[in-house]
Each structure stands twice: as C-alpha cells, then as structure tokens.
Amino acid sequence: MATATKSKSKSGTSSHAANGHANGSAGNGFSKAAVTIFDQVGLPKDPDNLYTQTVSVMLHAAELMGLPDYLRLILAQPKNEIMVHFPVKMDNGKHELFKGYRVQHNNALGPYKGGLRFHHDVHLDDVKSLAFLMTMKCSLVGVPYGGGKGGIKVDPRQHSKTEMEHIVRRFTAAIAHNIGPDYDIPAPDVGSNSQHMAWIADTFSFLSEIGGDNPAAVITGKPIEYGGSLGREKATGQGVVDTLVEMLPELKLKPEKCTFSVLGYGNVGSWSGKIFQDKGAKMIAVADHTGFIRNDRGIDAYDLDTHVKKTGGVKGYAKATAISKEEFYKTKVDVFIPAALEQMIQEPEANMMNCRVVAEGANAPTTPAGERILMSKGIEVLPAILCNAGGVTVSYFEWVQNKTFQAWDLESVDAELNKHMVKAAQKTRKARAEFKCDLRTAAYIAALQRLKEAYEIRGLFP
Ligand code: GLU
C-alpha cells in the first residue's frame, strides 16, 4: 500500500492554535472557548482526534461570528449515533459479523443527508466527523438538508458480488427504521457505488410501508436506470472544477494554463482530473493506494481512468514514470487535488508540497497542523465543505426528480449545480472579507449563519 491509507495520530502538534486560530489557548492548542464546549459535551481534548479537529474549526468560526452558545453546544455533538452488528453468510457457507454505522448529526435545515462509506478502517469518530461536515456542507451550498453519514466496516474488494449484495441488503434492514425519504437519505461515499445504492433502495422499498409514493427516494446516487440523476456520478468532480474556475482568477491563475496533481483516483479524483483537463489544465502527477506516477508532458486523465478501472490502480501505467511518495508531493504544480481519505495532508506532506492551491475534493484531507504549514507557504486551501459539495448538490436534484417524477437533462443538472457552487463560493468570499479570515473559517461562518437564522426562527422545543 503506497499512500491511500490515512495515518491517524501521526502529527503530535496539530492544533487549533497551530492553524492560526488561537484565542486564548487552554492547552493542547485549543482555545479556551473551545475547551469549555469540549468539556460540556464530553469531547476528548486530543489534537489528533479527527472529530475534535473538525469541531474545533467550527468553534473558531463560531467565536469569530458570535454564534450563540446553545448552538455551539448543539452542533458539537450529533443528534443520533446508530451502531449495528449484523451477520451475513459468506460464499463458503460460514457466517461473518459486520459492524455498521449511521450518524445523524443535525436536521434543522431538512432531512439528514450524507453518504455511506464501505471501508475496512471506518470508525465511529470518522463517521461522526463526516456527518458533521455534511451539516456544514449542505448549509453552505444551500440545499434543504441536514447532515448524516454512515458506513460498514468492510473492504468491498475482498468480497464477491453476491457477498457484497448480502452485506448491503442486511445492513439496510438493520437501519431501515432509522432512514427514510423524508427523514434520512444516504448516498455513495468512499468504497460504495451506484449498484450498492440500487440494492439499498430495493431492500428499503421491499421492507418499508412508510416510504411514500417513491420509496427509492430514500437514497441518492442510484443508477440512471433506477431513479438516478444524469450528472450525479461526476458531480463531486464537477463541483471541484466549478469551484476552481470560480476561485482561480483571484489567485491570478487561469484554468487552461494550470498544471495539477491528484491524490486518489477513484470517483472524485478521476472526474476532477477529466473535467479539469477538459478546461485545458494539464495533469502532471497522480497517486493512489497502488503507487505514484508522473509525466511532466501531461497524463491523459481519461486514459488513466481506463487503466485504473482495468487494473485497480495507477501502478503500471505505461505512459508515466513511477516515482516515490516524496517526489509526488514535491512535484511543482499550480493545483493539488486531494481526493482520497481524511488526514492525508499532515505536516510532512505539507512541508513537501509545492503548489499554489489545494482544492479539497476529499472530506477533511488536511489536518490543522498540515494547514498551518500550507498557509505559512502561502498556499490557498479551497475547503472541502465548499469544494466537494457538488456531490450532495446533485443528490438533492436526484431526490427532487424522484419526488416529482421528473427526469432532468444533463445541461439542466450541470447549470443548476454551477449556480449552487458559484453562490456558495460567493458567500464564502463575502464572509472572508467581513471577518478577515481564511477561506475555511469563512466557509464555516457562511454555513453557520444559515443554521443560526433557521434556529432563531424555529426556536427550540419545548
Ligand atoms: N458522500 C458525498 C459527500 O461526502 C455525497 C453525499 C450525498 O450525496 O448525500 O459529500
């Protein structure tokens, strides 16, 4: 395994303060205000903990904009954390017990929404962090959803199609009473795909009498033949490129003149690569769990995609040279697109990186300590809650189409997506100007503003 393994707790000094966010540090680099909330809601004050890291960035934004205390408390923990264990018979006749999760972070703006990760290294804290990020992302990009996330601790590559079908259907049965087209709507994430979504929709429709007119609307990212939307498969990558096109001019960069590298060549990485290349940009280096490759004359993003689909990774791609991890990160490019897992840009990687912009296609790829280094090097980070919001935005369009029995054409999907991405980028820029902060903090402020308005109008029951 070369790189696409997330390395947790490697950076001993990652911190809020390290990110330039110190506001009266109370140890471990977290601000006093953040530590007060951590104590109140029972969060570990561990700077390496992904969930603590994620919430601390929100709390910094909350501090700057003066978010009421009760909202900081509400947002610092998810509403529900569901954990299930379920047995499945394997092809060899033996049973295995699987662990599944669904975390429902917040539903103030609408039903819980977010993907399902199928990965052998998925834990509750990861799922909590990702659910939290969905709340922020949906708020920022202006879709009427809250945030959720789920997953199964499983390596899909280790199972036959039949085994995966049984695992996915049995997981659906285990959480069926906790999801629904108007309550919690899952979608694909790392390791899951449209076939899995189809099995979930079918299982839910079969089990559920509460699905309404179209129970398949319980999930998005479905195949086109079964209620999916045109443009959903490429949507996250499309959103990454829409964000770049919107944000690059202020950095005096032109998409058609850009060079870029991509970390992770799955759905998000490959579509970002292909669409950015279509704008005239040149892909120089790519890495995934199988290896690191480079070609200074350019790697054709479509051709590499064909190779990866055939062989399972970038390794062995004949039209590029195999390089080391260090060479990959040190490759000089205009744009670096992390599109794999969380916490992959820590201090060592950030120290090596030689780019102008990081466009976060993955969720939470940069640790606070990594980000501090990027900032000190003058590298602009386009934060994930903005940059990768294209996926959930087109999921929203799919859900609307399901609920109204419509089928939009691709031009309409792309045009609507672009409107949402541009508006979210504008809101982020506005918050940056008003609060004189970095783009990540600004994106959180813009997201929190919408949540604050909703809570103020709704009030709190009872
Ligand atoms: N898993 C994707 C994300 O992290 C998409 C979620 C969705 O479409 O609901 O944004």
- pLDDT confidence bin for 25, thresholds 50/70/90: low
DSSP 138-192: HHHHT-S--EEEEEEE--GGGS-HHHHHHHHHHHHHHHGGG-BTTTEEEEE-TT-
Position 26 scores a pLDDT of 54
Answer whether residue 258 shows pLDDT above 60: yes
DSSP state, residue 24: S
Cis upstream peptide for 462 (omega within 30°) = yes
Q: Give the whole-angstrom CA distance, residue 82 versus residue 103.
A: 6
- Superfamily of chain region 235-387: NAD(P)-binding Rossmann-like Domain (3.40.50.720)
187 lines ligand 1 (CB under 6 A): yes
CA 285 / ligand 1 centre spacing (Å): 26
In the predicted model, what is the mean pLDDT of residues 361-377? 96
| Band (208; pLDDT cuts 50, 70, 90) | confident
Residue 7 has pLDDT above 90, yes or no: no
CB of 391 within 6 A of ligand 1: the answer is yes
Q: Assess whether pLDDT exceeds 60 at residue 11.
A: no
Q: What is the pLDDT of residue 426?
A: 98
The pLDDT assigned to 13 comes to: 33
Q: What is the mean pLDDT of residues 240-266?
A: 97
Kindly indicate the confidence band of residue 210, based on its pLDDT and cuts at 50, 70 and 90: low
Kindly give, in sequence order, each residue whose CB lies less than 8 Å from that of residue 365, ignoring residues fewer than 6 positions away.
Answer: 263, 338, 340, 341, 342, 343, 344, 345, 384
Give the pair of three-digit tokens for residue 22: 């110190």
Average pLDDT, the chain: 93
Name the percent of the chain lying above pLDDT 90: 89
> Does the C-beta of 114 come closer than 6 Å to ligand 1?
yes
The torsion angles phi and psi of 265, rounded to 5 degrees, stand at -120, 45
- Residue 149: active-site member: yes
With a CB cutoff of 8 Å and minimum separation 6, the contacts of 228 are: 194, 197, 220, 221, 222, 398
Q: Which residue's CA is the nearest one to ligand 1's atom 7?
A: 392
**Among all chains, which residue has been given the structure tokens 């045009």?**
415
Only one residue has tokens 């980070």, namely: 381
| pLDDT for the residue numbered 27 | 56
Q: E strands, 330-408, where?
A: 335-338, 357-359, 380-382
Residue pLDDT, tens place only, 401-446: 999 999 999 999 999 999 999 999 999 999 999 999 999 999 999 9
**CA–CA dist 439, 450 (Å, integer):** 17
Which residue spans of the chain are classified as CATH 3.40.50.720? 235-387
Q: How far is the CA of 144 from the centre of ligand 1 (A)?
A: 14
Convert the pLDDT of each residue in 31-54 to its tens digit.
Answer: 888 899 999 999 999 988 999 999
How many Å lie between the centroid of ligand 1 and the Cα of residue 320?
Answer: 31
**Ligand 1 mean position, distance from CA 417 (Å):** 14
Question: pLDDT tens, 299-335?
Answer: 999 999 999 999 999 999 999 999 999 999 999 999 9
**pLDDT reported for residue 31:** 84
Q: Point out the catalytic residue in the list 6, 149, 222, 234.
A: 149
**Residue range(s) occupied by CATH 3.40.50.10860 in the chain:** 80-226
In short, whether 115's Cβ falls inside 6 Å of ligand 1 is: yes
Pick from 28-42, 240-254, 259-273: least confident: 28-42
Rounded to two decimals, what is the model's pTM?
A: 0.94
Q: Which of 7-21, 102-116, 208-222, 378-392 bottoms out in mean pLDDT, i.e. has the lowest?
A: 7-21
Average pLDDT score over residue span 450-462: 95
Q: Which of 397, 378, 80, 96 is nearest to 252 (CA)?
A: 378
Topology classification of domain 80-226: Rossmann fold (3.40.50)
